[in-house]
Structure 1
Amino acid sequence: MSRMGLGFSKRMSVLAGGIALVMAGMTAGQAEETAVAALTEAQASPAFYLPQIRPIQPGEVPLTGVHAVAQPYVAFNTAVDEAFKSQLATPREVRRLLDGLRFSEPQMVAQSWLAHRGLIAAENPEFREGVRLALARDGAISVMQQLSGRGSYARNIHGADAAVAAVLERVANDNYRMTVLKGRFLSTAQEFQTKRWGMIDRPETTAPVDFADAGAGDSLATQITETLQNFSPISPAHAYASPLMERVLAYGALHVIATSLETDVSTAEMAPADRRTTSCLNWAKLNLNQCVAAAHFPSEEAWCTATHAIEDVRACWEKVLPAADR
């Protein structure tokens, strides 16, 4: 029995059988034209419309498939949006935003990032057409078995290049926003130092700690407390391996298949999170927890947010971008 399981095989056999009946008695070219035409009609139906990438609202029907897997990253991205709109005026506001940016399951966040980017790929019309052509040519079972996130099948689907370009555009935009947001929290940390309630232990020179420099270079641990010296450095090298985009496109293709054929795709049939990104996010989480635990002043909490809740996480996906866009 294949990894996809008996339930999947039976479900997809029914789907494949339906396509086979349509194709019976036709030439290969006629069969492909007929299958593509049928799937094009499905595209126009409400069932095919791609769900909006946003958190599920109270009272809504629970999401399934790729869109459900994407929700942890959607929640994180929503927290980034909220922080971006905030004035960061008070310690209470910083703590509230920090709570939204924290996560407990790095592996879940890493996988949800793949699903979120896959949904963006699925919105590309060329890629959707390519997936439909692959279904008509190879059949649903064969296509889905090859969307494992390994190899290069998804990257060779017609329209994959256009989908990758759309994904990279979104990643670059999010990367820029998080870079700007990091700077705002560092500035807030500096501003909090000027307040009586935000003062930190000064060096003997009584000069204020330069949080902007600290964010770009040495750890704040060397300037505030020995407790923070054990942080693990986060670098883009932790996060990215070349097959990452294969997994993103596999998620996108699975979403197109599910919406086109009006079926569900279980999480067991989706590529897992890659280990490097999961490890990177885990270090970001641990660093943040340690930093917040050691922080005694609002300025330190703002610095922890900038450096570990935002910058460390941003670095976990930076390497997917061309060097000029980082």
Structure 2
Amino acid sequence: MLSTTRTRAALTAIAVVAATLLASCETPPPPPPPLVAAPPAPPPITLSSSIVEKASAFRGYMQRAGAIGATFENPDQIQASLKVGVGYEPKQFLSGATAYAAVLALQDPTYVASVRAFATDPAQRQSIINQLVADPAYAVGFKGSDTAAGRIIDTLGASGLQLYTAGKAVKQAAYDVQRAKWSTLPVLDRDGRLAYAKTMSATPGLADSADVAALQQASMGGVPLVPAPPADPAAAVTVSGPRSAPPPYKPLVIRGLAVAALAALGYAGDDKLPLIEAVMAEPASAMCLNMAKLNLYQCLAVAKPHYEDVFCLGQHIMIDTGMCVLKASGAALPYEPPPPPKPEPVVTKKKPVAKKKASASAKKKS
């Protein structure tokens, strides 16, 4: 019995030794993989509050001026409408249109995503920024630029056409209102109203705080912008969903895309405002607005009865400004019928005048 117990103990010891030897021969487990740092998050989309305010000032003017009606019952209505219409400074107005274009482009998810794909790598991000600053047309190369451009062209084009259409109705009212005797009376303080027009044309427009908040949210990809309802539903211009607009684009559209791209890269905040304003500068389109203002001053300088002020309002404030916005955006221009041909002058042949015979008395004198 004792020997059996010893035998079992010996076998157990041998088994333990064998297990230990086998364990020592096994391959050790691989070490855990090293921790890989997550890629840095792209910087947030940033658009300077000053840029958003310019966009709001532009959008607000277009809504107010486009709402001017064509029914005038007294001189005060005319002068009130003139004060609304003259209230923009051309340089800020154009800058505001470009800023608004940038906000619209930031509402295109494909365009924003394609730009932000380059924002995580610092070196690549800086290279893209340098390219955009040196040549804003570089923004056209990103995926989604065609639909972002379509959104800009259609929205600005609809706004410009709304103002143009309302201006055509006001211009017609300059002829219709002449049936009222008061419209033929001379305008009071003609020099004062001209001075006011020049002062307001040199004063930057103000933004609406509620509209600024809506535009700021829209620039971050928030709630889509909803255009204001037109004053005349019959003259409303419907803007459908975003469409693809192939290049080439007008400079305003290109610069709006470039500002949107810089904002998507987190490089358009308040600290970058001077650089963004340089990217937005586009002097060629400003010539159209400056000419509209010059024609307005000349019109007001010679206008005497009230109905002539209505003509100045309709033609040189509303029609001309609306046309400038249409041209700057690259939208289709409204059809303008050619003026009727002038009648050719009727040439009448003169009959030869017969020489009178000298009288007998004259012959005697000679």
Matched residue, 1:78:
63
Q: Distance in 1 between matches of 2:68 and 2:323?
A: 18
* TM-score normalised by structure 2 residue count: 0.56
2:162 alignment partner, one of 177, 189, 194:
177
Q: Distance in 2 between matches of 1:165 and 1:115?
A: 16
Matched residue, 2:272:
265
Within a 5 Å distance, the mapping from 1:84-163 to structure 2 comes to 87-103=71-87, 105-136=89-120, 139-148=124-133, 150-163=135-148
The 3 A distance-change label for structure 1 pair 81 and 280 is closer
TM-aligned CA deviation for residue 65 of structure 1: 4.0
TM-aligned CA deviation for residue 200 of structure 1: 7.6
Report if aligned partners of 1:171, 1:321 keep a CA contact under 8 Å in 2.
no
* Residues 152-202 of structure 1 deviation map (CA, whole Å, 9 limit, x = unaligned): 21111221111011111102211321222012211321222111011289x
1:68 alignment partner, one of 53, 57, 79:
53
Report if aligned partners of 1:111, 1:273 keep a CA contact under 8 Å in 2.
yes
Matched residue, 1:166:
151
The 3 A distance-change label for structure 1 pair 200 and 255 is farther
Matched, 1:321 2:333: no
What is the count of residue pairs matched by the alignment?
A: 237
Residue 163 of structure 2 aligns with an amino acid whose one-letter code is: M
Report if aligned partners of 2:102, 2:256 keep a CA contact under 8 Å in 1.
yes
The 3 A distance-change label for structure 1 pair 248 and 261 is closer
Matched residue, 2:307:
299
The 3 A distance-change label for structure 1 pair 92 and 142 is farther
SS in 2 for 1:136: coil
Which of the pair has more CA radius of gyration?
2
Q: Distance in 2 between matches of 1:112 and 1:309?
A: 18
Report if aligned partners of 1:73, 1:109 keep a CA contact under 8 Å in 2.
yes
Report if aligned partners of 2:262, 2:268 keep a CA contact under 8 Å in 1.
no
2:286 alignment partner, one of 278, 286, 295:
278
Residue 89 of structure 2 aligns with an amino acid whose one-letter code is: E
Report if aligned partners of 1:65, 1:267 keep a CA contact under 8 Å in 2.
no
* TM-score normalised by structure 1 residue count: 0.62
Within a 5 Å distance, the mapping from 1:244-255 to structure 2 comes to 244-255=252-263
What's the % identity of the aligned pairs? 22
Report if aligned partners of 1:118, 1:252 keep a CA contact under 8 Å in 2.
yes
The 3 A distance-change label for structure 1 pair 69 and 176 is closer
Matched residue, 2:27:
none
Residue 189 of structure 1 aligns with an amino acid whose one-letter code is: A
Report if aligned partners of 2:168, 2:319 keep a CA contact under 8 Å in 1.
no
Report if aligned partners of 1:65, 1:264 keep a CA contact under 8 Å in 2.
no
SS in 2 for 1:135: coil
Which ranges of structure 1 fall in alignment gaps of 5 or more residues? 1-23, 51-62, 202-239
Higher helix share: 1
Residue 82 of structure 2 aligns with an amino acid whose one-letter code is: L
Residue 80 of structure 2 aligns with an amino acid whose one-letter code is: R
